[in-house]
Structure 1
Amino acid sequence: MPSSVPGDDYVRRWTDTTAAKPLRSVGGFFAQSLDIMVALFKPPFAGREFLEQTWFLARVSVLPALLLSVPFVVMAVFIFNVLLIEFGAADNSGTGAAVSAVNQIGPFVTVLVVAGAGASAMCADLGARTIRDEIDALKVMGVDPVRALLVPRVVAATLVSLLLFSLVTLVGLVGGFFFSVFLQQVTPGAFVAGMTLLTGLSDVIISMVKAALFGLTAGLVACYQGLHVGGGPAGVGNAVNETVVFSFVLLFLINLIVTAIGYEIAQ
C-alpha cells in the first residue's frame, strides 16, 4: 500500500473546510432556486402569503426608494444642465434626465433598496423561523416550505421590484422636471419634448426586465440564506449581512450583463 505523504490530512481538512464549503453553498443555492422555479408552476399557489409578503416588502421598500430616487436624479440633472447651459442647449435637459432615470438611476436605486431593505428583511424573517424550528415543524406536518413560504416571497420580491422601478423612475423624472424648470430656468415644454429624444420603449422594457431580475435574484438569495441559518440568533444577523453583500454583487453583475445585451439588441 502506498505510504501517506506528510501533510495529506491537513490538505484534506483544509479542502473540506475552505474550498468545499463555498462550492456546497453555490450548489445548494442553485438547487434550491431550481426547486422554487419548479414549484412556481405547481398548484396550489399560496395566494394569501403572497399578498402579505407583497405588502410587507412594499412597506419596507417604498420610502427608502423615494428618498433615494429624487437626490440621485436631481444631482444627475443638475450636472447635465450645467454642461448644457455652457453649450447653450439647456432645452435638451429632459433628454439627460430621461436617460439617467430610466436606464441607470432607476435600476440602480432598485438594486440598493431591494437588496438593502427588502431582501434583508425577508432573510431575517425566514432566519427567525428557521432557528425556532418552524421550518422543520412544517415538514413534519407534511407542508412543503418551498411552496408555502419561498415561492410567494420570490414572486412578491419580483413584483415589488418591478413596481418599485416604475415608481422610482416616475418620481425621479418629476423631481428633475421641477428642479430644471424652477431652479435652472429650463423651458417646461422643451424639457418634456426632450425626454423621448434618446429614450424609447426598448429602453423602458430593458430596464423593467432588469428590475424584475433584480427582485427575483434578491428573493432567491434571501430565501437560501434564511433557510440555512446556523448558530442561533447571531447566525441570523450574519445571514442578513451575507444576503445584502451577495445580492449587491449579483445584482450589479446582472445589471452589467443585461445592459450590454440590451444595448446590442437596441442597435
Structure 2
Amino acid sequence: MSAPTRVGPPVGEPEYIEPGPLQRGKAKVVGALREFGNMFAMGLDVFFGLFRRPFQVREFIQQFWFIASVSIMPAALVSIPFGAVLTLQLGSLTEQIGAESFNGAASVLAVIQQASPVVTTLIVAGAGGSAICADLGARTIREEIDAMRVLGVSPIHRLVVPRVLAAMGVAALLNGMVSVVGVAGGYFFNVIVQGGTPGAFLASFSALAQQSDLWVSEIKALIFGFLAGLVASYRGLNPKGGPKGVGDVVNQSVVITFLLLFFVNFVISVFYLQLVPAKGA
C-alpha cells in the first residue's frame, strides 16, 4: 500500500498564510503615512529650494505662462455661475428672515473668503497640476530624472521649484480675477433677477467687509497653489507601471489635491473666524 500524498508546501518552506483584513488595513495605513511623510519631506526641500541660487527664471516663466494660459478662461467662466448661485441662495435666505439689506455683504464675503480661492485652485490643480504631473511622470519613466541625479543636478531645484512657484503665482493672480468676476456676477443677479437695490448691496458690503478678508483670500490661494504644485510634482516623480502608471498618478494627484484643499480651507477658515474679529464687533 502506497504512502498518502502530502498536501502543503515542500519540506523546509514556510507555509503561506494570506493576510487578513486587519493586516491589509494596517499595511494600507502604514503605506499612506509613508507617502505623506515623503511628500512632507519633499515640501520642505521645495520650500528651502525657493531661496537657493541660481533660480531657474526661464523655467519659471514658461511654467507660469502655461498654467495661466490653460487656467484663466475656465476660472473666469466658472466664477460667474459660482458667484451667482451663492448670491441667489443667500438672497433667498435673507429674504425669508427679513434681512435683505445684508445680502450684499453675505454674498460678497462668501465669494471672497471661501469660493474664490477654492475655485481658483481647483482650476489650477485640474488644468495646470495634471499637466505638471504628466510631464514629470513622462520624464521619470524615460529615466531623465535618474540621469539628472547621476549628473549631480537636483530635480527638485531644477524642475519642481519653478513649477510650484508658478502654481502659487498663478493661483494668487487668478484669485483676484475670480473675486472680481464672482462679485460682479453676484451683483448682477441680485439686482436684475432678485430685484435688489444696488445701493443696499454696496452699502452692506462696505459696512461689513474689511481688508483682512481679501488678505486671507490671497493667503489661501498661495497655500493652495503650493499644495497643488507640490502634490502634482510628487506624484509625477513617483509613477509605477510605465505609461499606465503616469495616467494613474495624474488622477491621483488631482484627487489628493482636492482632498487637501478642502481640509486646509476648513482649518484656515476656522482659525481666521475665531482670531480675527468681524468688522463692527
Normalised TM-score (structure 2): 0.85
Moved more, 188-197 or 255-264: 188-197
Count of aligned pairs: 262
**Following TM superposition, by how much is the alpha carbon of 1:188 offset from its aligned partner in structure 2, in angstroms?**
2.2
1:106 match:
116
Identity %: 44
1:222 to 226, 232, 242: 232
Counterparts of 1:17 and 1:85, CA distance in 2? 53
Aligned-partner residue type, residue 206 of structure 2: T
Q: Structure 1's 242 and 166: CA in aligned 2 closer, same or farther, altered over 3 A?
A: same
Range 66-75 or range 187-196, more displaced: 187-196
Q: CA deviation at 1:18?
A: 4.0
Asked if 1:198 corresponds to 2:208, the answer is: yes
Deviation at 1:20, TM superposition (A): 4.0
The counterpart of 1:125, out of the listed 132, 135, 139, is 135
C-alpha distance in structure 1 between counterparts of 2:151 and 2:15, whole Å: 50
How far residue 136 of structure 1 moved from its aligned partner, in angstroms, is 1.8
Q: For 1:18 and 1:266, locate their aligned partners in 2 and report how far apart those are by CA, in whole Å.
A: 39
Secondary structure of 2:206 counterpart: coil
Match of 2:104, SS? Answer: helix
SS of the equivalent of 1:196 reads helix
Q: As a proportion of its length, which structure holds more helix?
A: 1
In the TM superposition, what whole-angstrom CA distance separates every residue of 1:25-84 from its partner, at most 9, and x where no partner exists? 222212211211122111110011001111111112112212221111101111222344
Could you say which residue in structure 1 is the equivalent of 2:244? Answer: 234
CA shift for structure 1 position 21: 2.8
| Structural RMSD (CA) | 2.4
Gaps (5+ residues) in structure 2? 1-13
Specify the alignment match of 2:253 in structure 1: 243
- Residue identity in the other structure for 2:104: G
Whether the 8 Å CA contact 1:98–1:196 is kept in 2: the answer is no
Q: Which moved more, 1:211-220 or 1:89-98?
A: 89-98
Q: Which residue does 2:60 correspond to in 1?
A: 50
CA 1:89/1:260 → structure 2, altered by over 3 Å: closer, same or farther?
Answer: closer
Higher mean displacement: 23-32 or 98-107: 23-32
Match of 2:196 in 1: 186
Residue type of the partner of 1:105? A
Cα deviation for residue 155 of structure 1 reads 0.6
CA distance in 2, matches of 1:90, 1:26: 46
Deviation at 1:100, TM superposition (A): 1.5
Structure 1 regions of 5+ residues with no counterpart? none
1:19 and 1:82 map into 2 onto residues whose CA distance is: 44
Q: How far off its partner does 1:229 sit?
A: 0.9
User: Structure 1 residue 23 and structure 2 residue 33: aligned?
Assistant: yes
The aligned runs of 1:82-93 (5 Å cut-off) are: 82-86=92-96, 89-93=99-103
> Any idea what the Cα deviations from partners look like across 1:241-266, whole Å, max 9, x if unmatched?
11011111111111011101111221
When the two structures are superposed, what TM-score results if normalisation uses the length of structure 1?
A: 0.89
Q: Structure 1 residues 157 and 6, CA, compared in 2 at 3 Å: closer, same or farther?
A: same
In structure 2, do the counterparts of structure 1 residues 187 and 14 end up closer, same or farther at CA, with 3 Å as the change threshold? closer
